[in-house]
Amino acid sequence: MGETQCHVVMVPWLAFGHMIPFLELSNALAAKGINISFVCTPKNIEKLRPKIPTHLASRIHLLGFPLPPVAGLPENAEATADLEQDAVQYLKKAYDMLQEPLETLVRSTSPDWIIYDFATYWVPPIARKMSIPCSFYSIFSAGATCIFSSLSECSGRTGKLTPEDVILAHCFNFPSTVRYKLHEAVSLCRGGGQNASGVTDGERMEWAIRGCQSLLVRSFMEFEGEYIVALQELTRKPVIPIGLLPAAVEEQQASKASNLKSVACFRWLDQRDPRSVVFVAFGTEARLSKEEIQAIAEGLELSNLPFFWILRKPGHVSASSTSGGGGDDKEDDVDDPLPPGFRDRTAQRGFISMSWVPQVKVLAHGSIGACLYHSGMSSTVEALQFGLPLVLLPMVFDQGLVARLLVEKKVGIEVERDDRDGRFTGLDVAKALRLVMVEDEGKLIEEKVREMKSSILDNKELGDGYINRLVKHIRDREKEEEKKRPAAGNKD
């Protein structure tokens, strides 16, 4: 007799750095025959739907729950990328108000499992009412999750965190560089305290971990096994690594291959030498200041290396234009965040885009040789997937912790900066770029990246094994419930 249909509800936080890893996990589970209900909002659904492979679309149901109006939250804002940082608190408040619609969904569909995010700490009480097991999915590295768990316990004891608490949060019984620096600690304390939702991020993390039956982490034992073990010891919860879930690009490349050569950016890349270009991007969450953008530009110029830069305006909320260098259009001089004359001086070796580009396809191009990144986990996985060494310039949240982990694993180098205020210079950026792209140390980093790519990221059997173990974890509980039902039915 075949296995019964299994149904899992996904409840991610409304940031694309969270929604996309949740969707990638949904794709992986759907490929194993599990039906998914993916809780989201209407506007975000339209952006996520194209990321579902056609052959899995019948198994993944995107459910758009409209956000209730909240004072301080713009009418069409449904993701952190739509907001300035100080307005994200209102998005949390609005999302917290979806507890009742979610409970109605769970009660009416009786899913076999719920997988939720740190921000949706209120899922476990809903699941308990209906005896449905749930897992907290940490989209952070295992090392970063350890630090966050330690900090949430500390804030629970003291009521608030100080920068000293953050810097000293070290929960490993082995040598580790995964910790926050002073400027990161100050920023974390400033942004993670009391807010309009009435619940701090530390409290959300603490309650998310406490309420779960198991903790899922986006990692491999082969990559950070010691941190996965430490996380299990720290939380006293079963920790299930699910792999890095690299993006599947084959289907997308096949469907758009005929268009690629006509796109300006690919035409430009086709003219570069193999592995000669630095790809530069800082994700959707980091709001770079004009000073930071100019320091990065100075570093690119001083490095004398070809570069492909996805540039967003200082303090951007959303990007809506395309601009020059070697790109399509030029930004008006009045609004241009780049140093005067930079575009002209680098026009022969730089491509700058201020609009969307197919990032995964750019990374797959043979001319890309390294990435200058913010250390976001999803972008990092994409780079490693294509065997690209990393120059790391972390900006927010967990990115400093990820950067230190990657340097520790010898697959990247971090740009030097002032530990007190986080300032960096163009010379700091250029030095790191040339170390990776030109100097002998860079060859060692590239060798380590290629080793990781071949042994872990290209190892489909290894990645499949992690998903199979998660599926077994879910289905074993389902089978236990099936065994109970006949016995219960026989009682008078």
pLDDT digit string, tens, across residues 52-90: 999 999 999 999 999 999 999 999 999 998 998 889 999
Residue 47 sits in the same domain as residue 112: yes
CB-based contacts of 148, cutoff 8 Å, min separation 6: 118, 138, 140, 202, 205, 398
**Alpha carbons 451 and 307: distance in angstroms, whole number:** 25
CB-based contacts of 369, cutoff 8 Å, min separation 6: 274, 275, 276, 277, 278, 388, 389, 437
Residue 126, number of CB atoms within 10 A of its CB? 24
CB-based contacts of 126, cutoff 8 Å, min separation 6: 99, 102, 103, 106, 114
CB-based contacts of 472, cutoff 8 Å, min separation 6: none
Residue 290 sits in the same domain as residue 394: yes
Look up residue 110 and give its two tokens: 């009786």
Q: Is residue 83 situated within a structural domain?
A: yes
Averaged pLDDT in 10-residue chunks for the chain of 492 residues: 78 95 96 97 94 95 96 94 90 96 96 96 96 96 92 64 78 90 85 78 90 95 95 95 79 44 80 96 84 96 96 56 48 73 94 86 94 92 94 92 95 94 95 96 94 91 94 82 54 44
Mutual angle of helices 16-30 and 460-489, in 10-degree steps:
70
Residue 180 sits in the same domain as residue 279: no
Q: Is residue 488 situated within a structural domain?
A: no
Look up residue 277 and give its two tokens: 């270009």
222 close to 456: Cβ distance less than 8 angstroms: yes
Residue 218 sits in the same domain as residue 70: yes
Residue 347 sits in the same domain as residue 467: no
> What residues form DSSP beta bridges with 116?
11, 136
Q: For residues 50, 267, 328 and 377, what is the CA-based torsion angle, rounded to 10 degrees?
A: 50
Please give the angle made by the CA atoms of 138, 220 and 9, to the nearest 5 degrees. 40
Residue 173 sits in the same domain as residue 318: no
Q: Is residue 141 situated within a structural domain?
A: yes
Residue 268 sits in the same domain as residue 212: no
Q: Is residue 267 situated within a structural domain?
A: yes
Residue 350 sits in the same domain as residue 451: yes
Residue 104 sits in the same domain as residue 47: yes
Residue 31 sits in the same domain as residue 144: yes
CB-based contacts of 460, cutoff 8 Å, min separation 6: none
Q: Is residue 401 situated within a structural domain?
A: yes
How many residues make up the chain in this entry? Answer: 492
Q: Is residue 490 situated within a structural domain?
A: no
186 close to 193: Cβ distance less than 8 angstroms: no
Q: How many domains does the chain have?
A: 2
Look up residue 150 and give its two tokens: 């330690």
Amino acid, single-letter form, for residue 251 = E
Q: Give residue 318's pLDDT.
A: 39
Residue 58 sits in the same domain as residue 183: yes
Enclosing domain of residue 177: 6-247+460-477
Q: Give residue 478's pLDDT.
A: 64
Reference 10, options 130, 154, 123, 108; nearest CA is: 123
Residue 82 sits in the same domain as residue 141: yes
Query: For position 233, which CATH number holds?
Result: 3.40.50.2000
Q: Is residue 485 situated within a structural domain?
A: no
Q: Is residue 270 situated within a structural domain?
A: yes
**Alpha carbons 460 and 242: distance in angstroms, whole number:** 13
Residue 185, number of CB atoms within 10 A of its CB? 22
